[in-house]
Structure 1
């Protein structure tokens, strides 16, 4: 979800409102002195998204509502929330005549999560009761409040969900919850989906294999085929328009003959390689059969020994039990290997037959082209020209068909990778559900923790954070340990820089993973006496690079540091006259008061 436009509406003729505040694609900066009203504007973004905000009395009295237009997956909708003690949000969707009205955060959160493509599961409260996440529990990952936001990596207005920070990160990056209240039901559903994905993967593999067979084993890209087609079409056009068509025709025929001879050589090499593989498979199969015979002789010897009463005096003595079990396992393993070799041999023989058929066709085409080269005799020049045009046309048709096959192969391979990722995600979810609260089997969590640790170190360096260990550990709940110290042990400039590093590291990683539910990071004014201007400038510059390389937005307010807006950036400045200084909110001229 991206931010498009914000507007604060006045209450009555003398109420306070804002201009139409349009968000930048990259960085939106609010630059103004203390008391200019930056914080109410920043608060209004979160407020319109359902976040609980406590406005001062003058805002409550002078402003009526906040409207925020957002976009998600090319769909635009406007959220208008009324400034009052009661929860009241109206959502207007483009193409819909009637707005949707919400009177509590729970229903609105369910709606917005659904619109953003998130599917929250029932979680567990601190009192072991079922609950669902709210916008007020999720948004603090991307919104840093001026008052308490710079004291922690996650500072929600309330914490009622068990391991709430970890659960919100899991929700954002698409990983199963740690404390699902309905784990068993969802485990069954995930396993059912996994079985379906397995079937899709096998079918896709088989389809790709058949398409690759149609491509005659040529390992060429769509771009290369497109380039070949362009050359062939150009050559055909030149031949048609040439004044010396006979010589040009001979040249084209000779070039096509060389191309087909090269292709024949490559195909012949591929056939020899496949035949060599088949021979190797047969040798391995023979060695395995010898091993099976040896095992059989050993088993016969065991039976003979066990029949001697001096060695095994009592029936069922068990002396050779382990040997018998080992024989059975080894025999089964070797026979499975022979089955695999037989399958591979059969598949390679099919490919040899297909390549041999293609080779015979190439030989016929080469012979036909050679027979049409210009010879002395009546009508020979015309025959050569017609043959060249015909050969070029066939080559174009052949390349076009192969291009379509390769395009389909690339499309299927892309879908195949998506299916593998989906299977991996389902397997991770199943591991999490089966492992319960202490589970750390999901490889995605391990990868995220490792990447998060590296990003934190990078951002600490960007902010020139001193006296903080780079020996960082991220635990299974995404809490960070700096050597032997926790974040709560820091204060002043060190705490501010570290919190900024944690927030930026998470956001960069979140965006780079392709997560699109939230695509913005909002910083209310940090205490700039705790951070040097050059370090904060380096911090914003790095965020700008993230915005340029990804679909991401940064919104921040500042009193001292003024960012030099570049392409894709916007600076919001206070434009209303105040008693002592310009303000972001004020009386709007020609205000239309609702009747």
Structure 2
């Protein structure tokens, strides 16, 4: 956006107006005594772009409107804003005319014309808020009142972290706190809570199923071999010539296998009991440590009661001890909870093992009885008995294998849920990210740090460290000190240095729309003329290189102007001095 001209329109025949004030190609300077109306003329530029500006009553009574003409790309726009209620008309090429009755609508149209996004941000009231041109302009407009006290002074702050959000916006970076991202963050956190509940339930399912059987790979292999052996025995019995002998052998083998299984279950039960005793021992040791910690804490409290040990209530002698005590106690109690869960799981496994031992013993007794009775039974009865036993054993084996397969599926489900939880946590981390992993934003901060030092030197800034840091909230620190601790000349120079650094880096991308920097009457009582001249001279070099404009108003310092720059001087008679606004019939040539 290039500034072309500014024109004040009179209210009635006796109203005040201005001549058509054309901006310089690079520099526009207003130089006149105090009271000549420099500030209203400068304020009219952001005023036409939606800035909330309060003019004095005599100006509101005598001036109808202000017209700012700008160029952006191939388009030329005449923006006319009336004084009083918000009413703006924008005329473009080909006699197109648009009317706006609110700052939001005007900003939306100009943002679109300038190719800028209008993101949904988080407001200070936690509701959605959109940026306006008046929230962006303080980066390029240093106003007279308050503008030299802070690097960013907007007419209103209704967006959370407004300065950093506007810097990110004008430099084409994603918002720090997008409203949609905040909404998505809340949704993701709800999803995480629901997923956590699912995972806890799935953990219990897996734990219960694991407690009901051995799911080690060796057991799976043994069950597969057992099923194959039982099938082979059934086939052999069916194909055997000596049916009675095959049936007898099958019953004896089943009886032998049953005895082995019972012995294995009893060994497993003994191991679990030993493990439970070990857990009890560990638990007793941990409880002993907790008691020791408690005694030490009581001793510490007793020591604290003695004035000669800790004479002041805020001495902090035992402060680190208290913190350490709390951490250690929490850790030990967590260990106790884990042990209790292990004991509960072991008790469940013992109960299941006892039930299996009883069932297997009953089955063994049945098989033993069948073996003893085989001499009194016929061949057919013996065969039927053997087949029934083999079939039942095979069915139980297959059921155990099916249970382990179901356990595998439940474990896979747990893994899927855990992976989904990780994805949700990653999304929350991304949505919660406030610039920590924003490489472009970090690069911007580093560049601006170096440029700020350059402009501090240009202004001969005293009493401020050149170790400049910019944090994630876009707060500047000089040797670790915020700008708030500086006063007078140093503070004004720091503000000017920051604006120049932002402006220089911003101009380096020719596609960015705001190509001007407005400085409304720097505090010249705090700024030597030679320092201001050097600063403006460097700014002009930046404008020459990257295509920018500067507007400067001043009372004491008069900037040297040469073509194609412009100097605006007051041309209307006043009671004590020439004025920038006046009646058309009284304008001096």
The answer to whether the 8 A contact 2:435-2:441 is kept is no
- The Cα shift of 1:431 comes to 10
- The Cα shift of 1:149 comes to 0.5
2:150 to 149, 152, 157: 152
Distance 2:63 2:164 in 1: 36
Distance 1:158 1:502 in 2: 21
Distance 2:87 2:69 in 1: 16
- The Cα shift of 1:435 comes to 4.2
Cα 1:586/1:173, change in 2 over 3 Å: same
Distance 1:433 1:550 in 2: 39
- The Cα shift of 1:590 comes to 9.7
SS of equivalent residue, structure 2 residue 585: coil
Distance 1:314 1:160 in 2: 67
- The Cα shift of 1:576 comes to 1.2
1:556 to 540, 552, 559: 552
SS of equivalent residue, structure 2 residue 45: helix
- The Cα shift of 1:185 comes to 9.7
The answer to whether the 8 A contact 1:172-1:515 is kept is no
Identify the residue that residue 582 of structure 2 maps to in structure 1: 586
Identify the residue that residue 44 of structure 1 maps to in structure 2: 44
1:108 to 99, 106, 109: 106
The answer to whether the 8 A contact 2:29-2:566 is kept is yes
Identify the residue that residue 69 of structure 1 maps to in structure 2: 69
C-alpha distance after superposition, 1:427-448 (max 9, x if no partner): xxx9999343434222111110
1:169 to 145, 167, 170: 167
1:494 to 490, 493, 507: 490
TM-score by length of 1: 0.57
Distance 1:446 1:128 in 2: 26
Cα 1:539/1:4, change in 2 over 3 Å: same
The answer to whether the 8 A contact 2:46-2:134 is kept is no
| Counterpart check, 1:574 vs 2:570 | yes
Distance 1:559 1:74 in 2: 36
Distance 1:75 1:61 in 2: 33
Aligned CA-pair RMSD: 2.3
- The Cα shift of 1:568 comes to 2.8
Cα 1:540/1:431, change in 2 over 3 Å: farther
C-alpha distance after superposition, 1:507-536 (max 9, x if no partner): 111111335221101011011010111000
Identify the residue that residue 291 of structure 1 maps to in structure 2: none
1:129 to 127, 130, 138: 127
SS of equivalent residue, structure 1 residue 33: coil
Instruction: Map 1:407-556; keep pairs closer than 5 Å.
Output: 434-556=430-552
The answer to whether the 8 A contact 1:432-1:440 is kept is no
SS of equivalent residue, structure 1 residue 43: helix
Cα 1:33/1:441, change in 2 over 3 Å: same
SS of equivalent residue, structure 1 residue 528: coil
- The Cα shift of 1:121 comes to 1.2
Identify the residue that residue 53 of structure 1 maps to in structure 2: 53
Distance 1:185 1:567 in 2: 54
Identify the residue that residue 261 of structure 1 maps to in structure 2: none
Cα 1:19/1:186, change in 2 over 3 Å: farther
The answer to whether the 8 A contact 1:173-1:515 is kept is no
C-alpha distance after superposition, 1:24-63 (max 9, x if no partner): 1100000111111100100111111111100001100110
| Counterpart check, 1:93 vs 2:122 | no
Identify the residue that residue 345 of structure 1 maps to in structure 2: none
Distance 2:480 2:122 in 1: 30
Instruction: Map 1:87-486; keep pairs closer than 5 Å.
Output: 87-97=86-96, 99-183=97-181, 434-486=430-482
- The Cα shift of 1:547 comes to 1.0
The answer to whether the 8 A contact 1:575-1:583 is kept is yes
The answer to whether the 8 A contact 1:123-1:130 is kept is yes
The answer to whether the 8 A contact 1:432-1:442 is kept is no
The answer to whether the 8 A contact 1:6-1:22 is kept is yes
The answer to whether the 8 A contact 2:572-2:586 is kept is no
TM-score by length of 2: 0.57
Distance 1:49 1:22 in 2: 17
Distance 1:111 1:314 in 2: 72
The answer to whether the 8 A contact 2:32-2:569 is kept is yes
SS of equivalent residue, structure 1 residue 555: strand
- The Cα shift of 1:469 comes to 0.4
Cα 1:531/1:76, change in 2 over 3 Å: same
Distance 1:16 1:475 in 2: 47
- The Cα shift of 1:101 comes to 0.6
The answer to whether the 8 A contact 2:448-2:505 is kept is yes
Distance 1:432 1:16 in 2: 58
Cα 1:496/1:439, change in 2 over 3 Å: closer
5+ residue gaps, structure 2, are 186-216, 222-425
Distance 1:9 1:433 in 2: 54
C-alpha distance after superposition, 1:158-177 (max 9, x if no partner): 11111110110111011110
Distance 1:185 1:159 in 2: 21
Cα 1:507/1:314, change in 2 over 3 Å: same
- The Cα shift of 1:316 comes to 10
